[in-house]
């Protein structure tokens, strides 16, 4: 895959404050990358560096093969769609009118305005003033603005900040559609649980440093968090199962008809295989793998101990 964005040993300082430190990151064409971390982790600074709004104190940023902070940066940004964290639109303008205004700024025709409004669920509100829009509607209007033209890449900075659960779900449905169509998207967020399942790779930022990068499965392996297996069984049969498991499984909870154990993720299949011949005792079972919040928490904890 072609790399649309490449950051090499990028550091950004503001006086004595180091906002981003020695970050190496490449964003490939056609993938969705989640940039996660708490407030102040350096995510927005990284987005500004990619946009060319600020220059690195050291290191190199390349957007489509060139420096976005150079005199050619404006031309490079024509290939970007950007949604800032705090969307500020002129409230007196109608949704269609405002989107037409941004289309002219991007040197695009108005032919796609109505289709974009329909795509983000604002077709029926297109003639209403933006001042009457809810926070979720304004955020969807912001996404429509980012989609104007033939953008090769989308940068979405905290796109669901302040949205209610229904608006968040609707927003990510649109992001998933873009992902299936091959769009390249960077989503900066501190909402860990909601981004799970919507990204090909996850970049974990902490105190300005990129401490982990990979798919969720790869991050799980790096964090080495245990998997939990829960079995509902016929009465008085948990002992026979534990005999099969041996020392590889740690007992979390046990009753007459329920058994909870944890194990290393790579040993999960082997533990289940050991139950051959005992499946008639099992009424039901569940496998719980750690989600992104748990993985992120352990990665940050390990980083703080170093």
Strands of 153-157's sheet, edge to edge?
80-83, 153-157, 184-189, 32-36, 201-206, 209-214
Residues 80-133 have pLDDT tens digits of: 899 988 888 999 999 999 999 998 888 887 788 999 999 888 999 999 999 999
Where, residue-wise, is CATH 3.30.2130.10 in the chain? Answer: 226-289
Residues 251-263 have pLDDT tens digits of: 999 999 999 999 9
The span from the CA of 6 to the CA of 62, in Å, is: 5
Residues 259-284 have pLDDT tens digits of: 999 998 888 889 999 999 999 999 99
Where, residue-wise, is CATH 3.40.50.300 in the chain? Answer: 1-79+152-171+181-223
Residue 132's Cβ-side half-sphere holds a number of Cα atoms within 13 Å equal to: 11
> Looking at the domain covering 1-79+152-171+181-223, what would its CATH class be?
alpha beta
The whole model's pTM is what?
0.85
3-state secondary structure of 147: coil
Q: What is the CATH number of domain 226-289?
A: 3.30.2130.10
Contact in structure between 175 and 133 (CB atoms under 8 Å): no
Tell the residue number behind the tokens 């005992």, with chain if given.
Answer: 278
The span from the CA of 24 to the CA of 146, in Å, is: 26
Question: For residue 34, which of 230, 213, 181 has the smallest C-alpha distance?
Answer: 213
Is residue 264 exposed (0-12), middle (13-18) or buried (19+ Cβ within 10 Å)? middle
């Amino acid at each position: 895959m072609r790399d649309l964005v490449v950051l090499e040993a990028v550091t950004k300082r503001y006086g004595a404050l180091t906002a981003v430190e020695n970050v190496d990151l490449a964003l490939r064409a056609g993938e969705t990358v989640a940039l996660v971390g708490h407030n102040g982790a350096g995510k927005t600074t990284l987005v500004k560096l990619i946009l060319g709004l600020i220059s690195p104190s050291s290191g190199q940023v390349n957007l489509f093969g060139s420096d976005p902070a150079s005199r050619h940066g404006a031309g490079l940004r024509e290939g970007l769609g950007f949604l800032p964290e705090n969307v500020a639109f002129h409230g007196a303008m109608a949704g269609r009118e405002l989107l037409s205004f941004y289309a002219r700024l991007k040197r695009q025709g108005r032919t796609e305005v109505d289709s974009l409004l329909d795509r983000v669920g604002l077709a029926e509100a297109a003639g209403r003033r933006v001042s009457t829009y809810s926070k979720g509607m304004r955020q969807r209007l912001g996404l429509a603005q980012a989609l104007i033209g033939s953008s090769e890449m989308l940068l979405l900075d905290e796109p669901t900040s302040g949205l209610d659960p229904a608006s968040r779900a609707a927003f990510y449905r649109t992001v998933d559609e873009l992902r299936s169509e091959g769009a390249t998207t960077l989503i900066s967020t501190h909402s860990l649980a909601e981004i799970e399942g919507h990204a090909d790779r996850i970049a974990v930022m902490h105190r300005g440093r990129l401490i982990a990068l990979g798919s969720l499965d790869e991050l799980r392996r790096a964090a080495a968090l245990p998997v939990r297996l829960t079995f509902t069984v016929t009465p008085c049969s948990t002992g026979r199962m534990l005999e099969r498991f041996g020392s590889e499984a740690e007992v979390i909870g046990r009753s007459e008809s329920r058994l909870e154990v944890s194990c290393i993720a790579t040993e999960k299949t082997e533990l289940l295989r050991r139950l051959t011949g005992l499946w008639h005792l099992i009424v039901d079972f569940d496998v719980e793998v750690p989600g992104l919040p748990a993985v992120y928490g352990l990665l940050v904890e390990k980083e703080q101990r170093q």
